[in-house]
Amino acid sequence: MKKFLEKVLFTLFALLLLFPSLAFAQDTATEEKSETKEEVVVSKSGKKYFELSVKNVGQSPLTKKVTYELTITPLIDTPRTQVVWNVPSTLKAYPKHQKFISLQEGQTYTVKASIKPLKEGHHNLSVSVISWQHDTNYTNSIDSDLYIDKDLVTLPVTEQYKTQKIIMYVGILLLGGAILFVAVLLVKKYTKKAKDWFTPDF
């Protein structure tokens, strides 16, 4: 049993060394393939009611959701402000803020949303900031482009994404190794008890 456990641990260690290199090779190939594509990461707009800036701050390798950060500097006091994420049917938006927020003139605010790609290709999304007043409303919008490959990964692939992907693989391997180790110990323990239970006393 001791030799078996040593073999299992050695195999897991070898896989830990192998997976990062494979992940890096795959990401490098994807990045080379996407060199001809252009990604607009940051878009800016300064107009009458709001100064807006939006950027892509990273993608989760596990859920494939892309986090977008919108920076708002209102040029008017707006106690009832709505932020609307307008996306095509190829994307799905998950806002991480309240439906209505209160903003003061000259202050800078940041809100976020997760954007989940559903299909590869070039996608355009826009964010509208609406100030609801008692007699009218004021609106400014800003656009951003998003490029997605066939694996639903943003292009170009960032170093941050590569690192997170390696950490995810290592975590899965460690979790699998821990489960296997505990399973072996339980089997060993209860096999001995079962053997003692079914062995008749003479």
Confidence of residue 172 (pLDDT cuts 50, 70, 90): confident
Q: Is 61 helix (H, G, I), strand (E, B) or coil?
A: coil
- The predicted-structure confidence for 28-79, as pLDDT tens digits, reads as follows 444 444 333 333 334 444 458 999 999 999 999 999 999 999 999 999 999 9
Q: Where are the beta strands (DSSP E) in 27-181?
A: 42-46, 50-59, 66-74, 78-86, 91-95, 100-103, 109-117, 121-132, 137-148
Mean pLDDT of 143-165: 91
Give pTM, 2 decimals.
0.67
The residue ranking higher by pLDDT, 202 or 125, is 125
Question: Which backbone phi and psi does 52 adopt, to 5 degrees?
Answer: -120, 145
CA distance 32 to 57: 21
- The predicted-structure confidence for 20-30, as pLDDT tens digits, reads as follows 444 444 444 44
Domain 42-155 = CATH 2.60.40.1230: yes
Would you state the pLDDT for residue 110? 97
Task: Write down the residue that tokens 């900031």 correspond to.
Answer: 129
Domain ranges of the chain: 2-33+160-196, 42-155
The residue ranking higher by pLDDT, 186 or 101, is 101
Strands 100-103 and 78-86: antiparallel
Q: What is the mean pLDDT of the chain?
A: 79
Strand partners, 157: none
Mean pLDDT of 128-141: 92
CA distance 95 to 66: 12
Both tokens of 27, joined, read: 């990401």
Is the pLDDT score of 109 beyond 70?
yes
CA distance 58 to 67: 6
Is the pLDDT score of 142 beyond 50?
yes
41 CA to centre of own chain: 16
Mean pLDDT of 179-197: 73
